[in-house]
Amino acid sequence: MEIYNKNLFVEMYSEHEGHLHGFKRVLVEGRTDFQQVEIVDTHAYGRCLLLDGKMQSSQMDEFLYHELLVHPALITHPRPRRVLVIGGGEGATLREVLRHPGVERVDMIEIDAKVLDFARQHLREWHQGAFDDPRVRLVVGDGRRFVETSPDRYDAVIIDVSDPGFEGPATLLYTLQFYRAVADHLSPQGIIAMQAGSSSIVEGEIMASIHETLRAVFPVVRGYETFIPSFDLPWGFCLGSRELDPRVLNAAEVDQRLAARKLSGLRAYDGETHAGLFALSKALRNTLATQGRVIEDHQPIYTPL
């Protein structure tokens, strides 16, 4: 976060672009073992979490990001019972998974204990007590190491890690080798969902490469996007599975599943939204088809800043 003057900070997306935010106060500012952490009260978006200077989520619109990361995958699965969440330190991804009464157990692996402490203290609206739900096993550790060593299998794996920054902790969670390890931990109908970075036309290579890398592991891969106002960018997500395809579910079927599973309180996701999410614009289809490469451990991908 770069302070521009005493009431404004800039979040830079690249060397050439950024978003100016008016702010009231800084609640947290410091370095952990893994990253720079800031929690700031802004005028437009309320409380915001920034990691390494990048907006992770805001009080005003985090529901858009977290609902659309979690529910398309869990609704596409016929009966998700065991779920793995990787990252997601704010606890909001966990909160959305726990909305599904059929989910019996959630393992959450977050690398940064300090982010969890800050979230417990300052981001109550995000986690809403999710960390203390008896269905949750919270592990502090590296998501990559966890999937490489754990014997467990899951119906859904939700990956909510930071963008692949040059020296960030998440870079090796975007590679072919990682997705193969995740695939080994999925039940036969298991599904993987992840945030895939900005889907802006000037940064298409990252989402397209994540999509391409998943395609090297999973027979069914679907990308989708939504605009997140506090990011000031259209944001990409990807789903992968051996057989389940979110695109075959129409709006009425999604609404039936939501009702049958007694999901309540959603503000962003329903049948109509689901159908719209998987009807991609021609421009995004073109980006996904032409701009990606397979990301490997020895040839990672990095966001511009």
Nearer to ligand SAM, 143 or 240 (CB): 143
Phi first, then psi: what are they for 88, rounded to 5°? Answer: 70, 40
Region of residue 17 (left: phi > 0; alpha: psi -120 to 50; beta: else)? beta
Q: Which of 160, 163, 232, 297 is catalytic?
A: 160
Nearer to ligand SAM, 50 or 191 (CB): 50
Is 152 a residue of the active site?
Answer: no
SS3 109: strand
Give me the helices (H) in 138-270, please. Answer: 143-149, 176-183, 204-215, 251-260
In the complex, which residue's CB is closest to ligand SAM?
A: 89
Least distance from ligand SAM to the Cβ atom of residue 111, Å: 4
Nearer to ligand SAM, 179 or 254 (CB): 179
Least distance from ligand SAM to the Cβ atom of residue 253, Å: 28
Rg (CA), the chain: 18
Cβ 106 vs Cβ 138: under 8 Å: no
Nearer to ligand SAM, 156 or 170 (CB): 170
Q: How many Cβ atoms from other residues are within 10 Å of residue 41's Cβ?
A: 15
Contact footprint for ligand SAM (CB under 6 A): 34, 51, 56-57, 65, 86-90, 109-112, 115, 142-144, 160-163, 169-170, 173, 195
Least distance from ligand SAM to the Cβ atom of residue 188, Å: 26
Q: Provide the pairing of β-strand 220-228 with 233-241.
A: antiparallel
SS3 85: strand
Complete DSSP assignment for 28-66: EEEE-SS-EEEEEEETTTEEEEEETTEEEEETTTHHHHH
Q: Count CA atoms within 13 Å of residue 130 on its CB side.
A: 27
Least distance from ligand SAM to the Cβ atom of residue 221, Å: 20
Least distance from ligand SAM to the Cβ atom of residue 219, Å: 26
Q: How far apart are CA 115 and CA 34, in angstroms?
A: 10
Nearer to ligand SAM, 108 or 254 (CB): 108
Instruction: Just list the catalytic residues.
Output: 160
